[in-house]
Amino acid sequence: MMLKHTYRYFLLFFLVLSGCQDSEVAPQQALTPEEEQSLLGNPSGATADESNFNNYLMTKPQFALSYSRDRGTPNWVSWHVSRDWLGSAPRQNNFRADPELPQGWYRVTASSYTGSGFDRGHNTPSADRTKSEEDNSATFLMTNIIPQAPNNNQETWANMEDYTRDLVEDGMEVYVVMGSYGVGGTGDSGTARAIDNGKVTVPGRIWKVLVVLPEGQDDLQRINTGTRVIAVDTPNSNTVRSDWGTYRTSVDAIEQATGYDLLSALPVQVQQALESQVDTGPTR
């Protein structure tokens, strides 16, 4: 009888122990910085093939992008903003050609925009990468820059960038993809289709999509049909309004204008629900 009781206790202990082991969730493998910046997908199907010169994929620890050799600008840039990327590193202001472009390609330089009437407009903002001087410096590579109307850059876009970082300070994290399309913008010197002797195309429209999440882990799995998505599409013009909320639109509309497949890493049903909506949340 004692042996029988002992066996029962041993069996119970074994079952409890097994149950605890089964309920443990293996930690998710950490993403590399490069994987983090393109977590939501590759909107244009860009590749790191030099023959794909107008949709050339470049992945950096600080951001990912599709580059167009013929336009001299990125098609889109994607990045993640969280507390981990924000710190006290000062603005480096070292605009320069990107040495990682393939040999033989024209390299836009810091002086390519001089006298053009357009700002050297960041896609990934300098202030989104202040953890280290190296991270901040990466945002000044000219592959991250577009000719942007000064009022668009310094008012409309600056306000939206500030709001993004305010969200992070309030305990959120934000995945961002930004791009431009069309030809012809209006800056300080009037309307232009290109600058730098025709080597850099001036876009007609500039857009951005934000996916906003509470701080946490397993970000891709946490995005659902209730997640806040903000899509904005603005004219590249000095007459643009400073209130970026005026230009809210749907992700579907941006996809239709660009031919891109945004948020492609999400399940189809989640994509459909999120991409059809126009955000009505706060803007400051």
The Cβ-side half-sphere exposure at 75, using a 13 Å CA radius, reads 26
Active-site residue (options: 60, 69, 71, 122): 122
- Separation CA 143–CA 281 (nearest Å): 32
- Separation CA 254–CA 131 (nearest Å): 31
Catalytic residue check, 80: no
Amino acid at 222: R
Cβ contacts of 27-31, under 8 Å, gap ≥ 24: 28/217, 28/218
Beta bridge partners of 205: 181, 235
Give the E-state strand segments of the chain in sequence order: 56-59, 64-68, 73-81, 119-122, 145-148, 172-181, 185-187, 190-192, 194-195, 200-201, 205-214, 228-235, 248-249
b/e burial code for range 185-199 (CB count within 10 A of at least 16 → b):
bbbeeeebebbbeee
> What is the residue-wise DSSP string for 33-53?
HHHHHTTT--TT--BS-TT-T
CB 278 within 8 A of CB 231: yes
Residues 155, 161, 167, 169, CA torsion sign: negative
Question: Which residues belong to the active site?
Answer: 122
